């Protein structure tokens, strides 16, 4: 019962913040880029801990606030007010700039994502290219953080994360190209409107599976959480970070999970469209939370892959399959146009 109430509160708070984007005030449009991320990540962590506790037959957070709703904010205040420790042999400027750079890029990604029709900061015609261009830069923040820490564990974690990020980003890009060819546009709103009668999940289900698997690897989630493998690298590229700098990395990582869930909703689940007439903002938020729920269930059920298996899946299985699937879609639409 507590988990169900938390699920409803999570949807309500996110949707209320998304509704603010409908207002035609520039400041009100800019603020919800930051506020939903902070609040959503806070509730995301609580939602995750509650689900994991239920699966593992534990209580989970239930002391701070009603049903433990204030536990994420308590953890955030604890981290923010702790002393920021900078390693003595590190490159101080790069060490501090790396989490700021990573978090800033994660914020930029939200500027082109629509939540309902017109509820977007910048409805760019090349929105897909903008998002993938910005997201590809985040690997530099991870590399800089690992190198500037002057720690072997941090640098190994950064190298792992960069290799994993680049490998699976190619698969995501190739998979999305199949959808873009069908729609004929790089605008997110156009892609959603194209799915008014039929969502792409059924027509492009192989692409959906490859995209979802790659999204798990892209966000360093189980079973592909090799850059943060506690048994091998302590905590990966952010092992030397604490207090506020760690919070920025934490917010960026969970923000990327929400971005991937939003992209899955846009590209394959029809965005804010549904076969039952419901408010657009509710439908879109429900789909995003549903994908987040699947992310959490996978974390609770699957073991971690070995690193060589992870790279083999990316380069020897998913990449060839995504290229073959893309060529199949191209040939299909070419022949379909000839027949018409």
CA distance 227 to 164: 8
- Choose the weakest-confidence range: 7-16, 38-47, 81-90, 248-257: 7-16
Q: How far apart are CA 219 and CA 264, in angstroms?
A: 14
Q: 251, 244, 238: which is closest to 81 by C-alpha?
A: 244
Query: Rounded mean pLDDT of 155-175?
Result: 88
- Position 203 scores a pLDDT of 86
In this prediction, residue 24 has a pLDDT band, given cuts at 50, 70 and 90, of very low
What angle (nearest 5°) sits at the alpha carbon of residue 215, between those of residues 14 and 222?
95
Average confidence (pLDDT) over 62-85: 84
Is 135 inside any structural domain?
A: yes
* Highest mean pLDDT, choosing among 13-22, 108-117, 165-174: 165-174
What is residue 339's predicted lDDT score, i.e. its pLDDT? Answer: 55
Angle, helices 92-109 vs 127-148, to 10°: value is 160
pLDDT classification of 233: cutoffs 50, 70, 90: low
> Which pLDDT band, with edges at 50, 70 and 90, does 318 fall under?
very high
C-alpha distances (whole Å) from 109 to each of 114, 134, 152 are 11, 7, 31
Regarding predicted confidence, which is higher, 5 or 230?
230
Instruction: Report how far Cα 167 is from the mean position of its chain's Cα atoms.
Output: 16
The reply to whether omega before 66 is within 30° of 0 (cis) is no
Run of H or E including 301: helix 280-301
Number of helices (H), then strands (E), belonging to the chain: the values are: 14, 0
Specify the number of domains making up the chain: 1
Say if 331 falls within a structural domain: yes
Residues spanned by the domain of 97: 83-339
Whether residue 14 lies inside any domain: the answer is no
Is residue 282, in this structure, part of any structural domain at all?
yes
pTM of the entire predicted model: 0.86
**265 lies in a domain?**
yes
- What is the CA angle 277-278-280, rounded to 5? 115
Considering the chain, what is the average pLDDT of its residues?
82
Contact predicate 158/145, CB 8 Å: yes
Does 52 fall in a domain? no
Task: Tell me how far apart the alpha carbons of residues 14 and 37 are, in angstroms, rounded to a whole number.
Answer: 9
- Specify if 37 maps to a domain: no
Per-residue model confidence (pLDDT) at position 321: 94
Q: Report long-range pairs for 318-323 (Cβ below 8 Å, ≥24 apart).
A: 318/168, 318/171, 318/210, 318/213, 318/214, 319/167, 319/170, 319/171, 319/174, 321/206, 321/210, 322/171, 322/174, 322/175, 322/207, 322/210, 323/174
Q: How many CB atoms lie within 10 A of CB 302?
A: 13
Evaluate if residue 3 carries a pLDDT over 60.
Answer: no
Q: What is the largest CA-CA distance in the chain?
A: 69
Q: What is the rounded distance in angstroms from the CA atom of residue 154 to the CA atom of residue 233? A: 8
Q: List the single range of 105-119, 188-202, 273-287 with lowest mean pLDDT.
A: 273-287
Q: Is residue 217 part of a domain?
A: yes
Cα–Cα distance, 197 to 244 (Å, whole number): 46
* pLDDT (tens digit per residue) in 90-110: 888 888 888 888 888 888 888
**Residue 60 pLDDT exceeds 90:** no
């Amino acid at each position: 019962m507590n988990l169900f109430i938390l699920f409803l509160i999570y949807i309500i708070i996110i949707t209320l913040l998304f509704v603010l984007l409908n207002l035609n005030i520039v400041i009100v449009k800019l603020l919800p880029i930051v506020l939903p991320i902070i609040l959503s990540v806070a509730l995301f962590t609580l939602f995750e801990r509650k689900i994991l506790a239920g699966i593992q037959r534990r209580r989970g957070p239930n002391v701070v606030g009603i049903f433990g709703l204030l536990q994420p904010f308590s953890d955030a205040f604890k981290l923010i007010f702790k002393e920021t420790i900078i390693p003595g042999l590190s490159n101080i400027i790069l060490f501090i700039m790396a989490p700021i750079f990573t978090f800033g890029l994660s914020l930029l990604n939200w500027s082109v994502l629509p939540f309902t029709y017109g509820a977007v900061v910048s409805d760019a015609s090349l929105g897909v290219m903008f998002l993938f261009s910005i997201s590809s830069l985040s690997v530099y923040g991870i590399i800089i953080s690992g190198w500037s820490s002057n720690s072997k564990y941090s640098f190994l974690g950064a190298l792992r994360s960069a290799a994993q990020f680049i490998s699976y980003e190619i698969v995501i890009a190739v998979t999305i190209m199949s959808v873009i060819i069908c729609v004929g546009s790089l605008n997110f709103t156009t892609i959603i409107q194209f799915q008014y009668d039929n969502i792409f999940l059924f027509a492009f289900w192989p692409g959906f599976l490859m995209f979802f698997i790659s999204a798990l690897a892209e966000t360093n989630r189980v079973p592909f959480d090799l850059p943060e493998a506690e048994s091998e690298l302590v905590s990966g590229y952010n092992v030397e970070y604490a207090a506020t700098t760690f919070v920025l990395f934490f917010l960026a990582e969970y923000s990327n999970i929400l971005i991937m869930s939003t992209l899955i909703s846009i590209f394959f689940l029809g965005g804010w469209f549904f076969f039952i007439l419901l408010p657009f903002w509710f439908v879109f938020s429900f789909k995003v939370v549903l994908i987040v729920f699947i992310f959490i269930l996978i974390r609770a059920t699957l073991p971690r892959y070995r690193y060589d298996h992870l790279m083999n899946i990316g380069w020897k299985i998913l990449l060839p399959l995504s290229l073959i699937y893309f060529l199949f879609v191209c040939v299909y639409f070419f022949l379909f146009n000839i027949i018409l």
